[in-house]
Amino acid sequence: MYKIVRKEILNSQVKLLEIEAPYVARKAEPGQFIILRVDESGERIPFTIADYDREKGTVTIIFQEVGASTLALGLLNEGDSLADFVGPLGVASELEGVKKAAVIGGGLGSAIAYPQAKKLNQMGASVDVIMGYRNKDIIILEKEMAEVSDRLFVTTDDGSNGTKGFVSDILQKLLDEGTEYDVVIAIGPAIMMKVVCDVTRPHGIRTIVSLNPIMIDGTGMCGGCRVTVGGETKFACVDGPDFDGHQVDFDELMRRLSMYKDKERTAVERHKCRLEDQVNAK
């Protein structure tokens, strides 16, 4: 069993769990992920590692409550335990030799981008971080990102934090001003990553994206996480999740990500009904 040692509510839908998993923490690197089950009857759900502490033997995940399994996960508290917590899985981000980087996080993608920014900062690289959200109420990790970046830019779709626009707008402005990057790391919604790649492509800037297709076993056997990169089929769980953004077929990815939306909504409704029945029974 994997004990939850810390829980934080980052906003109305996003929560942080720090989990005791010493064997995973010992090997974890930025870009990798874990697969967990809330209980023995739960489904396998993947989460990119948001942080890790080798000395404490803990791994941190940050998640949004969007489906039945994440709703169940969000109900757990400090002292509770998870049935399974497997990892680290996937290929670690290749960051060696980077001297100047832009790390871009869209929404919850900022949680996934944080370990990359932190690692680059520890390696002595100059890091510009750009984070984008729908509004100021859902901004997360602003303080943490400020600590590991040379410059931090936070923008919102509605301008409620004072800066209106998209992460791609900030990146375009920095490039127009003459800022040069060895690499741009973009993590967030597929459409956001696609637009960022459109911005960097004319400049020939190496652009890394982290893909989150449907995933089941996490070991390359089921084929559920297949993506097309450079015209070839890749599996995000064993070949990624990091890929060359300029080679990714984002249109195909977005179609696959939307395939089970109706089933996900149905599962959430059933889960909420069961929770209400339990509350009423008490």
Per residue in 2-55, pLDDT (tens digit) is 999 999 999 888 999 999 999 999 999 999 999 999 998 888 999 999 999 999
Is pLDDT at 254 greater than 60 in this prediction? yes
138, 140, 139, 143: which is closest to 118 by C-alpha? 143
pLDDT tens readout for residues 207-230: 999 998 888 888 888 888 899 999
Find the distance separating the first CA and the last CA of the chain, reported in whole Å. Answer: 28
Residue 80 CB contacts under 8 Å (≥ 6 apart), including other chains: 3, 4
Dihedral over Cα of 85, 87, 88, 89: its sign: negative
The per-residue pLDDT for 42 is: 86
> Higher confidence at residue 173 or residue 213?
173
Is pLDDT at 119 greater than 90 in this prediction? yes
The per-residue pLDDT for 279 is: 41
Give the 3-state DSSP-derived string for 230-282, with helices as H, strands as E and coil as C.
CCEEEEHHHHCCEEEHHHECHHHHHHHHCCCHHHHHHHHHHHHHHHHHHHHHC
- Read off the pTM: 0.87
- CA-to-CA dists, residue 213 to 22, 50, 146, 226, 259, angstroms: 27, 18, 29, 7, 11
Q: What is the DSSP letter of 119?
A: H
Could you give phi then psi for residue 261, rounded to 5 degrees? -60, -45
Percent of the chain exceeding pLDDT 70 equals 91
* Domains recognised in the chain with CATH numbers: 2-89 (2.40.30.10), 100-257 (3.40.50.80)
> Higher confidence at residue 146 or residue 260?
146
Looking up tokens 């489906």, which residue turns up? 67
β-strand partners of 235: 226
| Residue 7: Cβ within 10 Å count | 16
Q: What is the DSSP letter of 223?
A: -
Q: What is the DSSP letter of 138?
A: G
The per-residue pLDDT for 217 is: 80
The pLDDT confidence band at residue 268, using thresholds 50, 70 and 90, is low
Task: Report the side by side order of strands in the sheet with 206-210.
Answer: 151-156, 126-133, 100-106, 183-187, 206-210, 242-244
Most trustworthy range by pLDDT among 61-75, 110-124, 250-264:
110-124
Give the β-pairing of 14-20 and 84-89. unpaired
220, 203, 209, 214: which is closest to 248 by C-alpha? 209
Helices and strands of the chain, counted as H and E runs: 9, 16
Residue 108 CB contacts under 8 Å (≥ 6 apart), including other chains: 14, 62, 63, 64, 140, 188
